[in-house]
Structure 1
Amino acid sequence: MSSDTGQTLDVRAIRACFPALEAGTARFDAPGGTQMPRQVIDAITEALSRPLANRGPLTEGGRNAEAIVTGARRALADLLGSEAGSVVFGRSATQLVYDLARTLAKDWGPGDEVVVSRLDHDSNIRPWVQAAEAVGATVRWADFDPATGELGAEHIEAVLSGRTRLVAVTAASNLIGTCPDIPALAALVHGAGALFHVDAVHYASHATVDLSALGADTLVCSPYKFLGPHLGVLTGRRELLHSLRPDKLLPSSDAVPERFELGTLPYELLAGATAAVDFLAALVPGTGSRRQDLRQAFTALASHEDRLHGRMEEGLATLDGVTVYSRAARRTPTTLFTVAGRMPEEVSRHLAGRGVDAPAGSFYAWEASHRLGLGEEGGVRAGLAPYSCDEDVDRLLNALDVPRR
């Protein structure tokens, strides 16, 4: 994901904000969840240290809770190019997609078709497959090119029809980093009269998200992938969200977005999510709105990560027996690789013993891993984050203990 910017990240200052980095490990596990800066930790602590109660105007605890929720909706709307009133919070992106799939499937039946992609994380496959099967709708599969890692318009167009009700595609593969041309796919899907759901869980960690520009009708992300706490976020077009009737408790609010939120929200985690967005917005000095500062920050972040990513893959290319599966022209700074004669888990264990955290597996991208011929074992995944540095890349390459070609 190449970008150019006049501003650069102060990586040393960024790293100083992350207590977990004091352990001294070179961390390449960001695609599975980033470390948390002190500012986010402090925001969570502060929220828990002040009075909290169910949201409402009468007590200090209720007002604090209301302010946290309102602030979090605004922050995530700024991050996602959405509206605060269209930001839904849940336990995880997986939970939110399951809820959304069950809700949309109320209007599906035999003869209707749903399209899913083999490039995706299973949380953007199985909920749609299971919801379709439950109502007798047909599931159609969009393949990607295993040689290049690309998911192109031709792959989606091949499975669209006049009966397609919804297409679900990732904005970035959590396994190999591929970033499909989402606006082009959206145009195809909408041309067929279907809804378009986008999984931005991996994408939102590395690029500016804009709901409208992407052409997504609905979209999910997870703050713990971009320096925040563990929860999920869904947003979508306002008119669509207002038209949906999810299952809910009778006394609970029927207003949007509360209509989609089951039970009391985790106020302290929402405070942490707001702090994570603010931390990202402040990665480089900014003087505009939070949305403008985020755009500028992600441009600088992409430049930093692209440089490190190129250095890492150039190094891997010199190592004998190393095969890299991340080959798409446009992708996140995420590399999946294997080492000849060694199981991925063995390589990951070897690296961990040398202070390098690069996990192995298929990472819930079950279909993609099998499409690549890697099965359930998958490969070793090395992903970058704002706190990644040149020394980390050097440690990874040296710790592999593989002869050069």
Structure 2
Amino acid sequence: MTYDVAAVRAQFPALEEGAAHFDGPGGTQSPRQVGEAVSRTLTSAVANRGFVTRAERRAEEAVTQCRSALADLLGADPRGVVFGRSMTDLTYDFSRTLAKTWHPGDEVVVTRLDHDANVRPWVQAAEAVGALPRFADFDPTTGELGPDDIAAHLSPTTRLVAVTAASNLIGTMPDIPAIARLVHERSDALVYVDGVHYTAHESVDLAASGADFWACSPYKFLGPHCGVVAADPALLETLRPDKLLPATDEVPERFELGTLPYELMAGTTAAIDFLAGLAEGHAGSRRDRLVAGYAAMHQHEKHLRDLLEPTLRDLPGVQVYSNAGRRTPTILFTIDGWDNQQLRTEMAARWINAPAGNFYAIECSRHLGLGDAGGIRVGLAPYTSEDDIERLLAALREMLLG
């Protein structure tokens, strides 16, 4: 299976500026096809969805094609794909909806490994109805979060477990199928998975994951800024979100407030089609091509991580916090004697984009002993090249060794 990174990079106009981008975990750059799809839809005649005029049909096609593409990406049913402004926004919506069925004394489990978007909505929703939030810790040395860490907090009154499929701060990938299986065996709780960082690097199969809900963000995998939650349509049918009286009660539309952003949905479809083409010469259904494309991307990113990580760890004063056995190509580090923001600024002056902070994984950052300051985060993406890796290492050597 071949992976032509030069051909991939040629499709990203943003790279023409010359920066080496290690900021993908905060949002990737987009290929030309995505921008063209957004522009084409936004400048074409569109209207509210329907089947009478061409404008209505064009809007309807943008929606149905996007749900189909996301279903192929996530191994889900198109009728269970909910589209929204952001993962955070959707998670707040689902937390309020699910909390309608909770009672005082019920419990929800969240983890300190997670981005706050999969922590605070559940904590706040629980507290609003008198339910109790429980925090599962991870090992700050290894970065690992295992089923036993979740099991310690399960009880007959557990109603929901919220857990990340991959930490956006340190890359740890917990064993979601094992966690979901444990939760479902020991309780009646639902499992809500933050798949935002995971979906950017690994192929997803909703059913195999055991998750009841899988949340992700297309702008983390080359698409526009928006959010998605996928679930079994039968589960969605049991939930009653707040909505406008004349709005449809159909699933998944009952969860989507207002007119959908057709141009962003078209851009999301284009991003997924781009990912499906990453494995050169691979045929089959779009789902088959996506699985192959992710496998090719995985090997490319693993190769680059193997080039980067040993040298980075050997640099003087470097402390690396990404240590789990299974993790994404995302590395969080600090350097003794350097302020994170100063280091970030020095690298930016060399056209190397490697941001610093806690990246909203504030519980994780604090649990690592980094407080709210976090560290420098370096993340690889489908367009990262060996030259990018060498530029980063050369800049660090220059700053640390002179």
TM-score, scaled to structure 1: 0.97
Indicate the SS of the match to 1:114: strand
State how 1:262-281 maps to structure 2 within 5 Å.
262-281=257-276
1:111 is the counterpart of 2:105: yes
The Cα of 1:58 is off from its aligned counterpart by: 1.2
* Corresponding residue number in structure 1 for 2:332: 336
Q: Tell whether the 8 Å contact from 2:233 to 2:252 is kept in structure 1 after alignment.
A: no
Q: Which aligned pairs between 1:294-333 and structure 2 lie closer than 5 A?
A: 294-333=290-329
Counterpart in the other structure of 1:256? 251
**Shift of the alpha carbon at 1:256?**
0.2
Deviations 1:259-291 (A, max 9, x none): 000000000000000000000000112210000
Which residue does 1:81 correspond to in 2? 75
- Is 1:55 aligned to 2:54, yes or no? no
5+ residue gaps in structure 1?
1-6
Tell me, which stretches of 5 or more residues in structure 2 are unaligned? none
**Is 1:45 equivalent to 2:39 in the alignment?**
yes
Between the aligned partners of 2:203 and 2:378, the Cα distance in structure 1 is 22
Which residue is equivalent to 1:391? Answer: 387
- Encode CA deviations 1:150-171: one digit per residue, 9 max, x unaligned: 0011110111111100000000
Q: Would you say 1:292 and 2:274 are equivalent positions?
A: no
Distance 2:251 2:328 in 1: 33
User: Within 1, Cα distance between the matches of 2:245 and 2:152?
Assistant: 43
The alpha carbon displacement at 1:403 in A equals 4.4
User: What residue is the counterpart of 1:3 in the other structure?
Assistant: none
- Please state if 1:142 is matched with 2:142: no
Aligned partner of residue 184 in structure 1, secondary structure:
helix
- CA distance in 1 between counterparts of 2:325 and 2:179 reads 17
Counterpart-to-counterpart distance in 2, 1:84 and 1:246: 19
Q: Is the 1:229–1:269 contact (alpha carbons within 8 Å) kept by the matching residues of 2?
A: yes
Q: Which of the numbers 212, 233, 236 marks the counterpart of 1:238?
A: 233
Matched, 1:195 2:176: no
Q: In structure 2, what residue type is equivalent to 1:330? A: R
Matches for 1:334-373 after TM superposition, within 5 Å: 334-373=330-369
CA distance in structure 2 between the aligned counterparts of 1:141 and 1:239, rounded to whole angstroms: 29
How big is the shift at 1:27? Answer: 0.3
Residue 49 of structure 1, CA deviation: 2.3
C-alpha displacement of 1:311: 1.2
Percent identity among equivalent residues?
Answer: 61
Structure 2 residue 207 is matched with structure 1 residue 212: yes
CA contact (8 A) 1:176 1:336 kept: yes
Number of aligned residue pairs: give it.
398
CA contact (8 A) 1:206 1:332 kept: yes
Structure 1 position 8, deviation (Å) = 2.4
Give, in whole Å, the separation in 2 of the partners of 1:402 and 1:81.
45
Q: Give the secondary-structure state (helix, strand or coil) at the position aligned to 2:159.
A: strand
The answer on whether the counterparts of 2:87 and 2:226 sit within 8 Å (CA) in structure 1 is yes
Q: Give the superposition deviation at 1:230.
A: 0.4
Determine if contact 1:52/1:62 at 8 Å carries over to the other structure. Answer: yes
Partner Cα distance (1:64, 1:239) in 2:
28
1:23 to 17, 27, 33: 17
CA distance in 1, matches of 2:126, 2:200: 30
Q: Partner amino acid for 1:59?
A: T
CA distance in 2, matches of 1:30, 1:403: 25
Per-residue deviation, residues 157-204 of structure 1 (Å, max 9, x unmatched): 111111100000000000000000000000111012211010000000
Q: Deviations over 1:27-63 (max 9, x none)?
A: 0000000001001111111112211000011111100
Name the counterpart of 2:30.
36
Aligned-partner Cα distance in 1 for 2:317–2:393: 13
State how far apart, in whole Å, the 2-side matches of 1:194 and 1:231 are: 27
The structure 1 residue matched to 2:120, chosen from 126, 146, 149, is: 126
Amino acid in structure 2 at the alignment position of 1:386:
P
Query: Using the alignment, how far apart are the partners of 1:8 and 1:402 within structure 2?
Result: 36
Greater displacement, 231-240 / 247-256: 231-240
The separation in 1 between residues aligned to 2:133 and 2:306, in whole angstroms, is 38
Contact 1:112/1:137, CA 8 A, preserved across alignment: yes
1:378 to 374, 377, 380: 374
> How many angstroms does 1:402 deviate by?
4.6
Equivalent pair of 2:47/2:59 in contact (CA under 8 Å): yes
**Contact preservation (8 Å) 1:8, 1:304:** no
Conserved in 2, the CA contact under 8 Å of 1:324 and 1:337? Answer: yes
Q: Deviation per CA, 1:118-155, whole angstroms, max 9, x where unpaired?
A: 00000000000000000000011100000000001111
**Structure 1 runs (4+) greater than 4 angstroms displaced:** none
Instruction: Tell me, yes or no, if the aligned pair for 1:336 and 1:379 is still in contact at 8 Å.
Output: yes
CA contact (8 A) 2:3 2:278 kept: yes
Determine helix, strand or coil for the equivalent of 1:102. Answer: helix
> CA offsets, 1:340-363, max 9 Å, x none?
001111111110001100000000
Q: TM-score w.r.t. structure 2 length?
A: 0.98
- The residue number in structure 1 matching 2:177 is 183
RMSD: 0.8
Separation in structure 2 between the aligned mates of residue 50 and residue 139 of structure 1, nearest angstrom: 47
Q: Is the 8 A contact 1:316 1:322 kept in 2?
A: yes
Letter paired with 1:22: E
Q: Aligned partners of 1:226 and 1:68: how far apart in 2? A: 19
